Amino acid sequence: MTVKFLEKLSDNYLGLLDDKEDFNIIIKVGESPNTKIFQAHSAILRYRSLYFRNELANISKDKNNIKTIDLKNVSIQQFEIIIKYIYGGIFLIENHNASFIFELMLIACEFFFDELAKYLETHLIEKEAHWLRLNFTRIYQKSFENNKLQGLQKWCNDIMVKYPEKIFDSEDLITIQENALVSLISRDDLQMEEIKIWNNVIKWGIAQNPGLPSDS
């Protein structure tokens, strides 16, 4: 029988974050003047994230054998959570609102943290459905930008088939992605007349091809 002492292992690796020796990566997080420097270790970053593995492969070392990564599209608060997940495999979801969790989920997808992204996606669907409905258009669009968010895609489409006017009767129709439109009109339970569906598909198609003749 294999016994896994993961809690102590997690604590030990988290201790590396405060260890000023042996680091070989500097991560600059945030936009100036609100930036923070994190020290990290290439071995851990490369094996925990395909994103960082690819980034490090394209960055040269300085004279001190240090590589620097700039993360301007991530907030300091978000990365403090991410770096603890990388090193210790821990995540504390309390005290974070739905908007923060949603943005963190998108970052987890970007960094290829599939396990964390799936956990946050499930939490939003099960615990934050009211917030998702209030921000439906954005959730709908963002969920189809990443094919990993299958749970949110289905959640959105389950609503859309009952209330298709949320998209078809709004100005947002021409901005939705092709895969989102296809996944919706492929549903057999879409509650809209086929002629209306067809007319909306034509409307969307014309908007994607502004060079078409006016009598198309």
The domains of the chain are located at: 1-90
Say whether domain 1-90 belongs to CATH 3.30.710.10: yes
Distance from C-alpha of 26 to C-alpha of 37, rounded to nearest angstrom: 7
Peptide bond into 213 cis (omega under 30): no
**CA 89, chain centre distance (Å):** 18
**pLDDT in single tens digits along all 216 residues of the chain:** 888 888 888 888 888 888 778 899 999 999 888 899 999 999 999 999 999 999 999 999 999 999 999 999 999 999 999 999 999 999 888 789 999 999 999 999 999 999 999 999 999 999 999 999 999 888 988 999 988 999 999 999 999 898 888 888 888 888 888 998 898 889 888 888 899 989 999 889 988 888 877 676
> pTM here?
0.84
Asked if residues 116 and 109 have their Cβ atoms less than 8 Å apart, the reply is no
